[in-house]
Structure 1
Amino acid sequence: MFLKKLTVLHEKVLSYSKYPFSIPALKSLRELAFQKDVTFFVGENGSGKSTLLEAIADKCEFNTAGGGRNNTYEVHASASAFGDFIRLSWLPKVTNGFFLRAESFYHFASHIDEMDNNGFINYGGRSLHEQSHGESFLSLFKHRFKGKGIYLLDEPEAALSPARQLAFLKILHDLTRNKQAQFIIASHSPILLGYPEAQIFSFDGENIAEVSYEDTDHYSLTKYFLEHRERLLAELFSEDV
């Protein structure tokens, strides 16, 4: 691991009633210690996980619209609202890495089309726009992610089928087994969250808490659905009667 700890600078906060400190999990956050090469942020939409991930990207000097340090382009409303309120502790500090925003990946792909002069060697040899959404994500993971670096991914499963999510887990394993990479991933995927020995932080509730895989809502709800699909759907649809 390279990033060891995140500290919130509460002395800089002017108001806890305004975004982003209106989010309960961020309002109460003091420190977050990273103890694994792969860390997941989980929680409902609006719980603050993407806001915190974006703030880490901002402090890493990655483009908060998506990309690394050398990707300069703009996307509306992509600026970090939380970056000025955190401090990162490194050992050692790395400058290589990438921030993936699934929602603005199209803009990143267009930026690469405009800037690439090397035959897209970092993206599988083809424009990302000439690949399917899932293929383009995997091309990025396979070819752009290399060397010592920190990789921040916001809902990478958005473009990945279940089979390709498993392929992504193999990429995670290959990149971290020699301590060459660190991943922090915001995800809703029970497949990705099953990565062995990953650290999982839940943003549901008043405080960010470390939880086990089996204690995530993503695991328990998916497990219940698979085991009791007909009953669950009958109960869900009966609410409309």
Structure 2
Amino acid sequence: MDFDQPPVVRVDAEQRLDPDAWPMTVPAVAQVVREGLVLPKGVTFLVGENGSGKSTLVEAIAVAFGLSPEGGTAQGRHSTRETESPLHTALRLQRGIGAPRWGFFLRAETMHGWYSFLENNPNPWARQPDSAYHEMSHGESFLEVLRTRFDSPGFYCLDEPEAALSFSSTLGLISVLDRVVSEGGQVLCATHSPVLAAMPGATILEVSDAGLHRTTWAELELVQHWRRYLDDPQRYLRHVLD
């Protein structure tokens, strides 16, 4: 029996959702419900256009793992407005034997609310008080979360973390994820960043109207568009500007 397994080995659906209602109308979501999804060790990136389903999948898997849908851990649950899809209710996770149960969900669009939750609910048993995230810039607060929360083996879900990060900070995030993996952690990340997706050794799943499929960094449509744009911006801009 293999005891060297990641926190989440596989994602399956144990019940069906209405096939004519969102999110089952999203091809990638329908594919995962129909076929399941194997999550390998290390880092897995979901890359695709807005509306392709990558964030919906990351959110549902994070919540099925037990993490707060608006970001954070399983212990610190908060909710400002319930917007998550019902997908998590249909999912069943095959957890790794002997794997860590710790996890963290870094969700760019709701981190402000998580900062307020921490401020209003300080942990009396914490070795040190939480940082004053609201007093930092958006990018600085993300970097502080990476420093203080990504510090042990576990299951880390990230939804477009590059939203707050500069180029150099995104490279720093790659370093953090590499350390997490080297210590036995597992990462599932939705991203639009060709910089982040270039992380060596990562599994890349491209999410599109055709569903999701494994690919390489060089084959990503995202990377090809960025290469052509940086080579000749006017090739794209003349179509959107009069």
Q: TM-score, normalised by structure 2?
A: 0.89
Number of aligned residue pairs: give it.
233
Does residue 104 of structure 1 match 2:121? no
12, 36, 40: which is aligned to 1:35? 40
* Cross-structure match for 2:3: none
195, 199, 202: which is aligned to 2:203? 199
2:88 and 2:232 map into 1 onto residues whose CA distance is 43
| RMSD (Å), alpha carbons | 1.9
Look up the equivalent residue of 1:101 and give its one-letter code: R
* Cross-structure match for 1:234: 238
Q: Which runs of 5+ in 2 are unaligned?
A: 1-5
1:200 and 1:170 map into 2 onto residues whose CA distance is 17
Q: TM-score, normalised by structure 1?
A: 0.90
Does residue 181 of structure 1 match 2:185? yes
Where 1:208 maps in the other structure, the secondary structure is strand
Write out the 4+ residue segments of structure 1 that deviate beyond 6 Å after TM superposition.
Answer: none
Look up the equivalent residue of 1:181 and give its one-letter code: G
2:192 and 2:78 map into 1 onto residues whose CA distance is 28
Cα deviation, residue 190, structure 1? 0.7
Does residue 142 of structure 1 match 2:135? no
- Residues 181-190 or 223-232, more deviating: 223-232
Q: Percentage identity across aligned positions?
A: 32
* Cross-structure match for 1:50: 55
- Residues 92-101 or 142-151, more deviating: 92-101
* Cross-structure match for 1:24: 27
Look up the equivalent residue of 2:31 and give its one-letter code: S
The answer to whether the 8 Å contact 1:122/1:144 transfers is no
- Residues 168-177 or 114-123, more deviating: 114-123
Where 1:74 maps in the other structure, the secondary structure is coil
The answer to whether the 8 Å contact 2:45/2:189 transfers is yes
Where 1:202 maps in the other structure, the secondary structure is strand
Does residue 76 of structure 1 match 2:92? no
The answer to whether the 8 Å contact 1:39/1:183 transfers is yes
Look up the equivalent residue of 1:65 and give its one-letter code: E
* Cross-structure match for 1:154: 159
Q: Deviations over 1:23-50 (max 9, x none)?
A: 1221233111122300001111111111
